Amino acid sequence: MNITKTLDAKGLACPMPIVRTKKAMDAINTGEVLEVQVTDKGALNDIPAWAKSGGHSIINQREEADVIIFHIQKA
């Protein structure tokens, strides 16, 4: 998987991870992949719901230590 851009949203509380994710997604092209790193547990529900509402695809999601990592492909 080619990651186009990585967003470090660690330490941010809701709604900032979503706000920053949207801004980062606006800066990449259709089909490209954004890696989002968050520590806010609310993002486990928020990021997939946001991605689905925008037609984007979460192609990978994992947790390493206390960091949740999403790979989102832009629609």
* From 4, 5, 12, 14, the catalytic residue: 14
Phi-psi region of 15 (alpha: psi -120 to 50; beta: other; left: phi over 0): alpha
46 is catalytic: no
The span from the CA of 29 to the CA of 69, in Å, is: 20
The span from the CA of 27 to the CA of 40, in Å, is: 23
Active site residues: 14
